[in-house]
Amino acid sequence: MSALLYSFRRCPYAMRGRMGLKVSGLNYEHREIILRNKPPHMLELSPKGTVPVFRTLDGEIIDESIDLLRFSLAQNDPHDWLDCDLEVAETLIANNDGPFKHHLDRYKYASRYDDSAQRGDVDLSHRAQAEETIKDYETRLEAHPYLLGAKQTIADIAIFPFMRQFANTDRDWWQSAPYPKTRDWLALHVESDLFKSVMTKFPLWEWGEG
């Protein structure tokens, strides 16, 4: 049995998982999916139906992205991303995956949550609420180049794919928003060789009839 990843390129959770796998050097089979047509085998491994889903060499199923990132780094952590105040890292990641993601989704997909909303007349209160998190990042990044200090850690890697979605929702606004440090921090991560390497396009995995 080989290690196996079900992934969706544009999913920020899957991105964080793929980055962990990449730096750890673990070998696995990549199966690219689309969310509206999930392979039955993926649902057999993890009925909750979210990506990423990883099956380890030992057959263990990891279907939470932060667990996959931690698992990968526990095998091999060449950049010492775990060498940090893990309690603070967990707090920032929980805020990202909780309140920040909540507001991001409602900002990014406003029309999905509000029948009357079209881009242009959406209620931007969710952007404003997401900005509370960004203000905290900006303060941190004014003091040092990464969220937790002088070096990159698991917190930066776990969080920046979500900030990328936030920034891409309205790029003009983001470019002139009062968060220059967060903007530079995001650009550094998005332009990194690591990120580019996990964003290569894979053909859809075809499971056919069998």
Ligand X SMILES: N[C@@H](CCC(=O)N[C@@H](CS)C(=O)NCC(=O)O)C(=O)O
Q: Interface with ligand X by CB under 6 A: which residues?
A: 8, 11, 13, 35, 49-52, 64-66
Minimum distance from residue 14 beta carbon to ligand X (Å): 7
Minimum distance from residue 121 beta carbon to ligand X (Å): 26
Minimum distance from residue 178 beta carbon to ligand X (Å): 28
The residue (of 42 and 148) whose beta carbon lies closer to ligand X is: 42
Minimum distance from residue 41 beta carbon to ligand X (Å): 15
The residue (of 149 and 169) whose beta carbon lies closer to ligand X is: 169
The residue (of 35 and 204) whose beta carbon lies closer to ligand X is: 35
- Long-range pairs for 57-60 at CB < 8 Å and ≥24 separation? 57/1, 57/2, 57/3, 59/1
The residue (of 24 and 50) whose beta carbon lies closer to ligand X is: 50
